[in-house]
Structures are given as structure tokens and as C-alpha cells.
Chain A
Amino acid sequence: MTLADYRKQHGEPLTEEDEHSGGDTHHPSALEYIQIGAILTFVTALEVALYYIDMNYTLLVTMLIVLSLAKFALVVLWFMHLRFDNKLFGILFASGMALTFTVFAVVIAAQHGGLV
């Protein structure tokens, strides 16, 4: 029995967490998945096109990273259902990502500081 079930049985009010903790999560339809796939394809084509355009290096890198993050977010939020699923999964994944970015920051700082 879940905490939400217990509260329901005993007539206690449900918390916001209870309402999101069950299995009845909304998942996108097949059509939505295909639409997201089309967007991912377009963004990938845009990335490759940018690679061949002669432009300022900093601007190019910034644009490529922004587009990559957009693709990353689309897959994680829609295909992996983080947008619709229990918040705990998102917190766990965000913790892993935060640790990863910490490693990146340390590496870059060490490189700029001439430590490695």
C-alpha cells in the first residue's frame, strides 16, 4: 500500500506529491513522438550546416552547444518522460548531471590554472 492509498482509505487529504506518485502518468501519443523526432532531425541538420558555415568560433561553439542542449532536453523530457513522471526521477538524474558538470568545471579550472 502506498502513502497515497493509505490517505485515501483513511479519508485524509492527498498531498500534491501523492497525486503525482501513482502510476497514472500521461505519456505522449505516437504522433507527438514522431513530431519530436522530426524536430530532432531538423536540429541535427542545422548543427551540421552550422559546422560548414564560416563564422566566429565563439559564436559557432555557443550555437552548437545550445542546439545540443535543446536535443538533450527534448529526449529527456519527452522520450524519457521526465516531464510527465514522478519528480524523484528528475531529481536523481539532475543530481547525476550536476556531479558531471562539477567534474567538467574542475577539469576546465585545472586546465586554465595550468595544473594539468
Chain B
Amino acid sequence: MSHAGTAHLETSTGISNKKLLMWLFLASDCLFFGSFIAAYLLYRDRSIVGPYPEDLFDIPFTSVSAFVLLMSSVSMVLALAAIQKGNVRGLRIWLLTTAVLGTLFVAGQAYEFTEFYHEGLHLDTNLFGTTFYVLTGFHGAHVTIGILILLSLFVYSLRGGIQQKDSENIEIAGLYWHFVDIVWIVIFTLIYLVQP
């Protein structure tokens, strides 16, 4: 299948500058999340007052959230596949599906934070609370920004602004969305499933 959006690139490298910029951003964002995850792993056992992770984590609930975010990645690639075939209606359906799934994930995170807060875990309660809220909060912020990007693309497509030749813009938005997904894959395993 040819990639319609980048058929005639006018750059000295022959690759899209926009795509290159997104990959550079994602590479730098790796370090951002890597630092937060390392800080969490370093400090989670050093809290001198509760509540502790094993008192709060609801694995079945978080598993459903992880599944929802994974499925949003599938709908995102289906949006890309649709526009690469010139199917604008399909693009809109899958973009909206991805945004809805992302919103479900953020809503689940908001519910989880509220539950933890009522259980007594605040940002300044202990080292677990500080590192957990900062890490997962920043991830939630990334997902929220992703939803805004998706909705912007959806509205833009309704105005006729996205055609088959513009598929690279959808691919770049998809790169961001999948990155948010792979960060959660790591968080779900290292923070939720692997407990000391």
C-alpha cells in the first residue's frame, strides 16, 4: 500500500520534517516518563505511613482501563487505514471512537484518583502518593491532550479539511496516541502488576 500523504517530499533527507519532529519529541518524552517511573520505583517502598499500594490498587478495574486504552490504539490505526484509502467517513468514525475510548480511560483515572483520595492517599501523604499521582497524573494529562488533538482532527474533517493526501497528519497524531499507549503498557506492568 502506498503512503499517499508523503508521496512527494521536498526535504533534503527525503523524510517528512513533521514526522521527524514528532519522533524527536517522543524520544525526549521517553526520558520524561522514564524519570518519573524510576522515581516511583525508588520511593514506593519508603513510605513510613500508609496507605500503601497493596491497600489501594484495584487490579481488575485497572486491567479494564488498560484494555480500553489498548483498543483505542487499534481504533486509531483503523482511522489511519481509512483515510489512506480515501474513506473520510471511516476516518471520522474511528477518530471519534478513539476519542471516546480515551475519555473513558481518563474518566476511569479520575474515579481511581477520587477513590484513593477518600482512602487517605493525598499528594503529600507519603512518597508513594507523591510519585504515584505525579506519574499517572502526567500520563492522564498526555491522554487528555491526545483527546483534544483527536477532536480537533474530527472537527477539521467535518469541515472538509482532511483528504487522502493529508493522511500524514493523522499518522502523526497516531504516533502521539500510540506513545501514550505504550507508556501505559509499561506503567500497568511496573506500577500495578509488579508489587514488592
Q: Which of A27, A50, A72, A97 has the most CB of B within 10 A?
A: A27
Across the interface, which residues of B come within 8 angstroms of A93, CB to CB?
A: 23, 26-27, 30
Pick from A2, A48, A68: contact of B14, CB under 8 Å: A2
* CB interface residues, A 36-89, toward B, < 8 Å: 36-37, 40-41, 44, 47-48, 50-51, 60-61, 64-65, 67-68, 71-72, 75-76, 78-81, 86, 88-89
Question: How many positions in chain B have a CB within 8 Å of any CB in the partner chain?
Answer: 63
Q: How far is the CB of B7 from chain A (nearest CB, A)?
A: 5
Complex formed: what's the CA distance from A26 to B60 in Å?
37
Given A65-B190, A76-B182, 18 new contacts (CB under 8 A): A2-B10, A21-B13, A22-B14, A23-B7, A28-B81, A29-B1, A30-B78, A30-B82, A34-B74, A37-B73, A47-B188, A48-B60, A61-B194, A64-B194, A75-B185, A96-B27, A96-B29, A116-B42
Instruction: Tell me if B178 and A37 are in contact (CB < 8 A).
Output: no
B39 — which chain A residues lie within 8 A by C-beta?
107
Number of interface residues of A (CB under 8 A): 57
Measured between alpha carbons, how far is A111 from B39 in the docked complex, in Å? 11
Query: Closest residue of chain B to A116, judged by CB?
Result: B42
**Would you list 22 pairs from A and B whose C-beta atoms are within 8 A, ordered by A residue?**
A2-B13, A2-B14, A22-B6, A22-B14, A23-B9, A24-B2, A25-B6, A37-B71, A40-B74, A48-B59, A68-B188, A75-B178, A79-B76, A79-B181, A86-B15, A88-B15, A88-B20, A96-B29, A97-B30, A103-B35, A107-B42, A116-B42
Query: Which 7 pairs from chain A and chain B are nearest by CB?
Result: A96-B27, A23-B6, A100-B34, A21-B14, A2-B14, A37-B74, A96-B30
Contact A103 B26 (CB under 8 A): no
Please, which residues of chain B bring their CB within 8 A of the CB of A78?
A: 77
Alpha-carbon distance A78/B158, docked complex (angstroms): 28
